[in-house]
């Protein structure tokens, strides 16, 4: 494959096309009032005004090529000067990575306050990806840095940054000042065109220094600090994908309202909305049709403060041609990465080269998880477990929600309902099953609770700021100030106590730079709760230590953890979360700067604690809130969905978007969390989930009826059972695909375009985009999201390939659109011709009980060649010894008609068994 090419011109921040990232083309029912919109947020409102300014095409910032300096990790830095400032105040850092990425960062030079930057290793791997070799050349006085192609052939541009001149970078100001320090001296500051917080075009000053919303006032002692930029995806761009987490279509709609990233506890979220949900991975995947070729690229915006993204088109009908996006974040630094591609496989590889590869999950994590709010006692748990066995339904893990605790003090047990938790969990372990407890990050305020006392005494809680007004020490009386003597009118009838006293000059009032800090208290499940500063490595170390078996009493090594409510959820906070002006004592960082990473740091601390608790074990953590890089530490579910057909269908797109963001161990609550599904919806949801949810759990609200598989009528129960048995039969395929994800960055589940980029129907056909998804490269699944009374048949699009075989009856279909008659026993699903699928035919009560059972290889021949290929990956399914390549078995399987099937299968089986013996 040819190497990518990159160009950087000195006009990188001008209105002309700026940063080109290229690849040589080869020959071949929410309460909306609680949550603010772009227009209700001052920095987003300012940005929209800024990008609509007159003469936007005029360049304001320019890179100074003569300031080029090498970066320690490779790449270069440049100073950036604004036309209305005497000296440069911004620094641009440019990294070009050998795997095919360009990273561009912009920050302040000597800011009044430290601008928050994500520590190395938290999102971008440390050390970072290998740098590309970059050479310098001069053309017409421009300083151009070129990443040369292998053969020197011409490249086509596909991504431009700031091509529409929408760059904004608000430098820190002194309190209440319109302009930052060192701005060019002007007689009338109001006339200066500087940034979105200082310009003469109807500037909106509301919210610059404080901002009310929903009964709360956000104090901003550091003033405006937002940033923004535009990105253009060139060529004919039929679809954009990604931007998790939003409950939208797979092919991202171009809404009037921007997509919002601000992790929130959203009660009863709606479908087809750009509103923020629980997690944030600000990545866009683009498909470009260029020069007769179809290629893909990715764009990543790395900023954990509140962010808005607006998708736009040039065409009046919003279809075809280039696509654009503008991005704006409340604070921090501008940090972007362009992943050049050109194939989906290379974009995924580039993303994981940047952020790191995920770990292999234990095999049990891919089995059935049984959860609800809540199993209320040890007897309840034992009953659920035994009923699964009674009806011979496989499952791997039972979960406990918040009611198992002593008054919502996590790491504790309700002694009345769970008097002997260790024995309860040991009984589950004896059946080779696992246990998961919820542990939320809000800490109950209770002197009897050791975690509260210890975190408080260590000073690890997030702080509340109590601002006091003082005279501004930098405000001095003007030299030409003339005092006016005011003499009371002796004839006035005004009472003496209303006389205002001596007039004259007074310094302005500002917030005390050393305000009082107290532990922030909010309201959550325990009542009054406090919130640890998980950005602090010392706090994360403490948190992880609490999972040790000698500290978290009642648990054993088969107990794993669920981190919920970690956006964080604050019931009485603004937008049901933590105030932005709260202070994280680790670095005295405002919460606004790190909000979208709070949940990431929580589940990372939990994962690392479990690693230390049981050396060599594979930790399992489920999180609701997440950020870029969460794939290294946790599974994710799509939150509190509804028992509605629309939510069933939306889960296809939501799971697909998450996997494009690097998160493959993902799923939605089967059957919906809120309300209760009818039997048909339950069956259809299971039929879909067992084939496309890598993380397979059903969960339900406290007020809903029980919905374990065995509580339904016999026909429904048998259909659910058949679905779950299919899942367990397919575990070897699932596990092999996870090895491909962990080792080669291939999403376990992915939209059709990932495997069939050259088939235009996979980026424009409605059914192919929104109702279908691939499990690996071998199985296509079409979800059914309407009751049979509304839908008796489905049109399934089978992409261009050698053909397809029904998973249910083996019937062969050629590529193209096919009408599929529906029944309640199955949904359309097809194996790709030319694949060998590893399975296990003996279904037992849990995945661990099946680990040494023989494999079955199903062969789906390519009818043109009479051949098929596949993979099978085997290790011990539970420890980290897989990281030693000598202790695993990863084999490719080739089959042709020239060999007898029985002989070929026997030979492969013998080879696998021999390798397995060496791994024990």
pLDDT in tens, 510-548: 777 777 899 999 999 999 999 999 999 999 999 999 999
The DSSP H or E segment spanning 804 is: strand 804-806
Q: Among 658, 640, 773, which residue's Cα sits nearest to residue 243? A: 658
Indicate the pLDDT class of residue 892, thresholds 50, 70 and 90: confident
**pLDDT mean over 139-158:** 40
Q: How far apart are CA 814 and CA 333, in angstroms?
A: 51
675: left (phi over 0), alpha (psi -120 to 50) or beta: left
| CA angle at 891 for the pair 887 and 896, rounded to the nearest 5° | 160
Q: How far apart are CA 605 and CA 607, in angstroms?
A: 6
Q: Does 519 participate in catalysis according to the annotation?
A: no
- Encode pLDDT of 254-269 as tens digits: 999 999 999 999 998 9
**pLDDT mean over 875-887:** 85
Q: Does 640 participate in catalysis according to the annotation?
A: yes
pLDDT, the chain, mean: 90
Q: Write down the pLDDT at residue 481.
A: 78
Q: How far apart are CA 690 and CA 724, in angstroms?
A: 7
Q: Among 45, 629, 94, 123, which residue's Cα sits nearest to residue 328? A: 45
CA separation (Å) from 132 to 5, 128, 145, 147? 10, 12, 12, 7
Indicate the pLDDT class of residue 194, thresholds 50, 70 and 90: very high
Q: How far apart are CA 818 and CA 821, in angstroms?
A: 10
Q: Write down the pLDDT at residue 24.
A: 34
> What's the token pair of residue 146?
């070129």
**569 touches 265 (CB < 8 A):** yes
Q: Among 738, 741, 751, which residue's Cα sits nearest to residue 364? A: 738
Crossing angle between the packed helical segments 714-729 and 731-744, to the nearest 10 degrees: 50
Indicate the pLDDT class of residue 898, thresholds 50, 70 and 90: low
| CA angle at 631 for the pair 630 and 633, rounded to the nearest 5° | 70
- Encode pLDDT of 597-624 as tens digits: 999 999 999 999 999 999 999 999 999 9
Q: Which residue of the set 195, 558, 564, 755 is catalytic? A: 564
Indicate the pLDDT class of residue 910, thresholds 50, 70 and 90: very low
Q: How far apart are the first and last CA of the chain?
A: 39
Q: How far apart are CA 327 and CA 260, in angstroms?
A: 10
Helix H segments across 90-223?
none
> What's the token pair of residue 239?
């679809």
In which residue are the tokens 């605790």 written?
A: 405
Q: What is the percentage of the chain residues whose pLDDT exceeds 70?
A: 89
> What's the token pair of residue 721?
């059972």
Indicate the pLDDT class of residue 885, thresholds 50, 70 and 90: low
Q: Write down the pLDDT at residue 893.
A: 87
Q: Write down the pLDDT at residue 723.
A: 98
Q: Over 90: is that where the pLDDT of 720 sits?
A: yes
Q: Over 60: is that where the pLDDT of 155 sits?
A: no
Q: Which residue of the set 401, 533, 558, 640 is catalytic? A: 640
- Encode pLDDT of 642-663 as tens digits: 999 999 999 999 999 999 999 9
pTM, to two decimals? 0.92
Q: Write down the pLDDT at residue 916.
A: 36
Q: Write down the pLDDT at residue 914.
A: 34
Q: How far apart are CA 187 and CA 200, in angstroms?
A: 14
Q: How far apart are CA 613 and CA 550, in angstroms?
A: 10
Q: Write down the pLDDT at residue 474.
A: 77
- Encode pLDDT of 162-178 as tens digits: 999 999 999 999 988 99
Q: Write down the pLDDT at residue 874.
A: 95
Q: Write down the pLDDT at residue 154.
A: 38
Indicate the pLDDT class of residue 890, thresholds 50, 70 and 90: confident
Q: Over 60: is that where the pLDDT of 747 sits?
A: yes
**pLDDT mean over 239-245:** 98
CA separation (Å) from 22 to 18, 73, 142, 159? 12, 23, 19, 7
Q: Over 50: is that where the pLDDT of 124 sits?
A: yes
495 or 43: which leads in pLDDT = 43
Name the CA dihedral angle for 760, 766, 770, 775, rounded to a multiple of 10 degrees.
Answer: -40
**843 touches 788 (CB < 8 A):** no
- Is the bond into 568 cis (omega within 30 degrees of 0)? yes
188 or 361: which leads in pLDDT = 361
Q: How far apart are CA 181 and CA 169, in angstroms?
A: 14
Q: How far apart are CA 41 and CA 37, in angstroms?
A: 6
CA separation (Å) from 727 to 636, 657, 661, 823, 905? 19, 22, 24, 19, 22
Indicate the pLDDT class of residue 17, thresholds 50, 70 and 90: very low
Q: Write down the pLDDT at residue 319.
A: 81
Q: Over 50: is that where the pLDDT of 150 sits?
A: no
Lowest mean pLDDT among 3-17, 355-369, 655-669: 3-17
Beta bridge mates, 297: 286
- Encode pLDDT of 786-805 as tens digits: 999 999 999 999 999 999 99
In which residue are the tokens 């795997």 written?
A: 99
- Encode pLDDT of 411-451 as tens digits: 999 999 999 999 999 999 999 999 999 999 999 999 999 99
Q: Collect contacts of 509-514 with beta carbons under 8 A, ≥24 apart.
A: 509/469, 509/470, 509/471, 509/472, 510/175, 510/176, 510/221, 510/469, 510/470, 510/471, 510/472, 511/175, 511/219, 511/221, 511/467, 511/468, 511/469, 511/470, 512/467, 512/468, 512/469, 512/470, 513/221
Lowest mean pLDDT among 486-490, 631-635, 860-864: 486-490
Q: Write down the pLDDT at residue 34.
A: 94
Q: Write down the pLDDT at residue 188.
A: 75
- Encode pLDDT of 685-712 as tens digits: 999 999 999 999 999 999 999 999 999 9
């Amino acid at each position: 494959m040819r190497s990518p090419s990159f160009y950087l011109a000195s006009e990188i921040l001008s209105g002309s096309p700026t940063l080109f990232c290229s690849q040589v083309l080869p020959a071949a029912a929410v309460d909306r009032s609680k949550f603010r919109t772009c227009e209700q947020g001052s920095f987003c409102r300012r940005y929209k005004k800024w990008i609509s300014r007159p003469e936007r095409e005029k360049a304001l910032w320019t890179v100074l090529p003569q300031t080029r300096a090498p970066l320690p990790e490779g790449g270069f830095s440049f100073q950036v000067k604004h036309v209305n400032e005497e000296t440069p105040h911004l620094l641009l850092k440019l990294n070009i990575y050998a795997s095919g990425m360009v990273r561009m960062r912009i920050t302040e030079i000597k800011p009044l306050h430290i601008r928050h930057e994500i520590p190395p290793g938290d999102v971008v791997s440390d050390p970072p990806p290998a740098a590309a070799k970059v050479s310098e050349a001069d053309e017409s006085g421009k300083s151009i840095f070129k990443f040369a192609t292998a053969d020197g052939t011409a490249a086509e541009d596909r991504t431009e940054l700031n091509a529409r001149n929408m760059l904004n970078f608000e430098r820190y100001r002194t309190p209440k000042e319109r302009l930052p320090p060192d701005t060019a001296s002007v007689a009338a500051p109001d006339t200066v065109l500087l940034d979105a917080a200082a310009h003469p075009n109807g500037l909106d000053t509301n919210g610059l220094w404080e901002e009310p919303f929903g009964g709360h006032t956000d104090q901003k002692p550091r003033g405006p600090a937002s940033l923004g930029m535009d990105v253009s995806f060139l060529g004919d761009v039929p679809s954009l994908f990604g931007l998790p987490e939003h409950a939208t279509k797979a092919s991202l709609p171009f809404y009037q309202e921007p997509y919002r990233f601000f992790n929130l506890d959203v009660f009863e979220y709606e479908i087809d909305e750009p509103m923020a949900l629980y997690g944030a991975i600000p990545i866009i995947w683009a498909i470009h049709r260029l020069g007769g070729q179809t290629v893909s690229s990715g764009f990543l915006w790395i900023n954990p403060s509140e962010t808005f993204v607006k998708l736009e088109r040039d065409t009046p009908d919003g279809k075809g041609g280039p696509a654009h996006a503008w991005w704006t974040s409340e604070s921090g630094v501008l940090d972007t990465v362009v992943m050049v591609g050109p194939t989906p496989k290379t974009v995924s590889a580039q993303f994981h080269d940047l952020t790191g590869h995920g770990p292999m999950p234990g095999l049990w994590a891919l089995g059935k998880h049984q959860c609800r709010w809540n199993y209320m006692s040890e007897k309840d748990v034992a009953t659920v477990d035994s009923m699964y066995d009674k009806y011979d339904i496989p499952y791997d893990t039972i979960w406990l929600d918040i009611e198992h605790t002593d008054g919502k003090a996590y790491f504790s047990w309700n002694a009345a309902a769970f008097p002997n938790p260790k024995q309860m969990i040991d009984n589950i372990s004896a059946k080779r099953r696992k246990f998961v407890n919820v542990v939320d990050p809000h800490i109950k305020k209770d002197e009897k609770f050791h975690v509260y006392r210890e975190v408080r005494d260590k000073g690890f809680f997030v702080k509340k700021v109590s601002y006091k007004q003082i005279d501004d020490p930098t405000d001095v009386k003007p030299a030409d100030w003339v005092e006016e003597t005011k003499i009371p009118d002796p004839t006035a009838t005004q009472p003496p106590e209303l006389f205002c006293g001596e007039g004259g000059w007074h310094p302005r009032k500002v917030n005390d730079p050393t305000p009082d800090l107290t532990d922030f208290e909010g309201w959550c499940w325990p009542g009054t709760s406090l919130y640890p500063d998980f950005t602090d490595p010392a706090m994360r170390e403490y948190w992880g230590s609490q999972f040790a078996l000698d500290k978290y009493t009642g648990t054993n090594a088969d107990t794993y953890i669920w981190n919920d409510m970690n956006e964080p959820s604050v019931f009485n906070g603004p937008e049901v979360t933590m105030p932005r002006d709260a202070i994280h004592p680790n670095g005295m960082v405002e919460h606004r700067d790190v909000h979208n990473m709070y949940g990431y740091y929580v589940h990372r601390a939990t994962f690392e604690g479990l690693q230390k608790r049981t050396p060599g074990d594979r930790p399992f953590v489920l999180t609701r809130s997440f950020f870029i890089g969460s794939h290294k530490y946790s599974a994710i579910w799509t939150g509190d969905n509804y028992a509605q057909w629309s939510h069933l269908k939306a889960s296809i797109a939501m799971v697909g978007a998450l996997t494009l963001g690097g998160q493959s161990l993902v799923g939605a609550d089967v059957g919906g969390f809120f309300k209760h599904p009818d039997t048909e919806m339950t069956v259809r949801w299971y039929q879909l989930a067992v084939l496309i949810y890598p993380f397979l759990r059903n969960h339900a609200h406290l007020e809903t009826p029980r919905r374990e598989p065995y509580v339904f009528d016999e026909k429904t129960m048998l259909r659910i059972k058949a679905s779950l048995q299919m899942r367990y039969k397919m575990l070897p395929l699932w596990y092999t695909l996870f090895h491909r994800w962990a080792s080669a960055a291939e999403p376990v589940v992915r939209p059709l375009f990932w495997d069939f980029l050259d088939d235009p129907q996979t980026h424009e056909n409605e059914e192919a985009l929104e109702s279908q998804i691939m499990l690996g490269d071998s199985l296509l699944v079409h979800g059914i999201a309407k009751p049979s009374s509304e839908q008796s048949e489905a049109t399934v699009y089978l992409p261009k390939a050698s053909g397809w075989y029904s998973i249910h009856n083996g019937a062969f279909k050629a590529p193209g659109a096919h009408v599929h008659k529906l029944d309640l026993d199955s949904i359309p699903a097809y194996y790709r011709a030319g694949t060998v699928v590893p399975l296990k035919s003996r279904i037992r009560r849990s995945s661990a009980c099946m680990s040494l059972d023989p494999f079955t290889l199903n062969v789906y021949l390519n009818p043109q060649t009479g051949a098929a290929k596949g993979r099978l990956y085997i290790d011990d399914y539970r420890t980290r010894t897989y990281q030693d390549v000598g202790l695993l078995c990863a084999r490719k399987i080739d089959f042709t008609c020239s060999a007898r099937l029985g002989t070929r299968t026997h030979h492969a089986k013998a080879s696998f068994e021999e390798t397995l013996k060496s791994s024990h």
